[in-house]
A and B are shown apart, each in its own frame.
Chain A
Amino acid sequence: MQFWIIQGLNSLSLGGLLFLLSSGFSLIFGLMRLANLTHGAFFMLGTYLGATALRAYSGLDIWVTALGAGIVVAALGGLFERLVLTRLKTNPLGQVLVTLGMSFIIADACLVLWGGDSIPVPTPQSLQAPTRVWGFVFPTYRLVLVGCAIAAAIALYLLMERTRLGAMIRAGVDDGQMARAVGIPVSNLFTLVFCLGSGIAGAGGVLGGPILSAYPGLDGDMLPLALIVVILGGIGSLPGAFVGSFIIGFIYTFGTALFPELSYIILFLPMIFVIAFRPQGLFGRVGA
Chain B
Amino acid sequence: MKWIGVVLLAAAFLLPPFLAGDFYINLASQILIAAIFALSLNLLVGFGGMTSLGHASYLGVAAYISALLTSRYGWDHGSAAIIAIAGTTAMAGAFGLIALRASGLGFLMITLALSQVLWGLAYRMSDVTNGDNGIAGLTRPMPFGISLESAVAFYWFTLLVAAFAFVMMAIFVSSSFGSSLKGVRDQPRRMAALGFNPWMIRWITFIYAGFWGGVSGLMYVYYNKYIHPTSLSTTSSAEALLGVIAGGSGTLGGPVVGAAVVLLLKNYVSAYVERWNMLLGLVFLFIVLVMPTGIVPAFDRLIAGLRRGLQKGLRWPR
A residues bordering B, Cβ < 8 Å? 29, 33-35, 37, 84, 87-88, 91-94, 96-98, 100-105, 107-109, 111-112, 220, 223-224, 227-228, 230-231, 235, 260-261, 263-265, 267-268, 271-272, 275-276, 279, 287-288
Contact = CB atoms under 8 A, between A and B. Distances in A.
Given A101-B280, A108-B281, A223-B116, 18 more contacts: A29-B105, A35-B108, A84-B289, A88-B289, A92-B104, A98-B285, A98-B289, A104-B235, A109-B278, A220-B233, A220-B234, A230-B109, A231-B110, A261-B125, A265-B117, A271-B113, A287-B103, A288-B102
A78 B295 CA distance: 31
**Centre residue among A97, A108, A263, A288 by max chain B CB count within 10 A:** A97
Contact of A231 (B109, B117, B238): B109
A101 B285 contact: yes
A146 B12 CA distance: 61
A231 B113 contact: yes
Contact of B292 (A91, A102, A275): A91
A44 to B, nearest CB: 13
A287 B107 CA distance: 10
Contacts of B148: none
A275 B288 contact: no
A275 B113 contact: no
Contacts of B109: 35, 227, 230-231, 235, 288
Nearest to B235: A104
A235 B113 contact: no
Contacts of B284: 97-98, 100-101, 104
A105 B281 contact: yes
B91 interface: no
Given A104-B235, A108-B281, A228-B113, A98 B288 contact: yes
Interface residues of B, number: 43
Contacts of A88: 288-289
Contact of B102 (A91, A260, A264, A275): A275
Contacts of A100: 53, 234, 238, 281, 284
B277 A33 contact: no
20 contacts: A35-B108, A92-B104, A98-B284, A100-B234, A101-B285, A104-B277, A105-B277, A108-B277, A112-B275, A220-B116, A224-B112, A228-B113, A230-B109, A264-B120, A264-B124, A265-B117, A267-B117, A268-B117, A279-B101, A287-B106
Interface of B: 51, 53, 98, 101-106, 108-110, 112-114, 116-117, 119-121, 124-125, 127, 233-235, 238, 241-242, 245, 275, 277-278, 280-285, 287-289, 292
A273 to B, nearest CB: 10
Contacts of B116: 220, 223-224, 227
Contacts of A35: 105, 108-109
B112 A101 contact: no
Nearest to B49: A93
A268 B285 contact: no
Given A227-B113, A276-B98, A288 B288 contact: no
B113 to A, nearest CB: 5
Given A84-B285, A98-B284, A265 B101 contact: no
Given A97-B288, A103-B281, A109-B278, A272 B53 contact: no
A53 B277 CA distance: 26
B278 to A, nearest CB: 4
B102 A287 contact: yes
Nearest to A284: B106
B278 A231 contact: no
Given A91-B292, A264-B120, A264-B124, A101 B283 contact: yes
